[in-house]
């Protein structure tokens, strides 16, 4: 964090990001704070599309296996003002992407629907967005304050990153359960984690079982350009 704050003093034109650690213990029954997951996903996205000149990563964080870049690309969506938006399809996409339906949006990874208004707090975003629909058309998009729920300023586009670092759609959960049976002995139905995934519930600490969601995991180096300089 200190390095991140000092970089602008030396070079004001650099695009810099930090990839934070989960700040949890391996296989402990705790999941990372949603804000940390949000920042991680935003950083990985910026790195993957080439919008990062300097990346700051703790050495221990760089060693952790993560989702392949193809996962991030497949579950990232954009919404623009004036586009036609199917509400039912959007809710389905949000659920598959790991977002939670709530009555009032307060933190990243949440959304709510009230008539023609959709409140959405995308992962990697500093502020939530309020999408105003006129029929099936996006009439306006505005940021709003999560505490006061008051609208702030209009924007033209919203980037929607996945709600988690692993897929919770039907295919992802089926792959998890299959690999669980291949890797662990005994009756899988006696495992709380196994049963939760089957019911679409992301158990606390599920992040450390991330390799079971993918045929092949990636490392941070799979996201970096070939000519990256390491210091």
Q: Assign 207 a pLDDT band (cuts: 50, 70, 90).
A: very high
* pLDDT of 184: 92
Mean of the per-residue pLDDT values of the chain? 90
pLDDT (average), residues 189-199: 91
Quick one: tokens of 203? 């158990």
pLDDT in tens, 90-126: 888 787 778 888 999 999 999 998 888 899 999 999 8
- pLDDT of 20 over the 90 cut: yes
Distance CA 26, CA 147 (A): 33
* pLDDT of 212: 95
Q: What are phi and psi of 48, to 5 degrees?
A: -65, -30
* pLDDT of 177: 95
- pLDDT of 64 over the 80 cut: yes
- pLDDT of 6 over the 90 cut: no
Q: What are phi and psi of 159, to 5 degrees?
A: -100, 130
* pLDDT of 46: 93
């Amino acid at each position: 964090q200190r390095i991140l704050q000092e970089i602008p003093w030396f070079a004001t034109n650099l695009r810099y990001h930090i990839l934070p650690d989960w700040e949890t213990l391996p296989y402990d029954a705790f999941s990372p704070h949603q804000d940390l997951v949000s920042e991680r996903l935003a950083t990985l996205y910026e790195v993957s599309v080439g919008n990062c000149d300097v990346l700051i990563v703790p050495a221990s964080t760089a060693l952790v296996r993560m989702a392949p870049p193809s996962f991030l690309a497949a579950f990232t969506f954009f919404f623009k003002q004036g586009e036609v938006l199917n509400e039912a399809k959007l809710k389905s996409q949000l659920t598959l992407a790991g977002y939670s339906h709530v009555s009032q949006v307060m933190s990243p990874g949440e959304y709510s629907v009230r008539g023609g208004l959709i409140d959405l707090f995308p992962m990697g975003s500093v502020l939530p967005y309020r999408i105003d629909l006129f029929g099936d058309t996006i009439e306006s998009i505005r940021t709003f304050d999560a505490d006061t729920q008051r609208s702030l300023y209009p924007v033209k586009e919203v980037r929607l990153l996945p709600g988690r670092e692993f897929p919770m759609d039907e295919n992802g959960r089926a792959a998890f359960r299959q690999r669980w049976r291949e890797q662990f002995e005994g009756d899988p139905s006696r495992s709380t984690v196994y049963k939760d995934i089957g019911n679409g519930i992301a158990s606390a600490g599920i992040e450390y079982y991330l390799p079971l969601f993918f045929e092949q995991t990636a490392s941070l180096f799979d996201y970096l350009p070939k000519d990256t300089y390491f210091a």
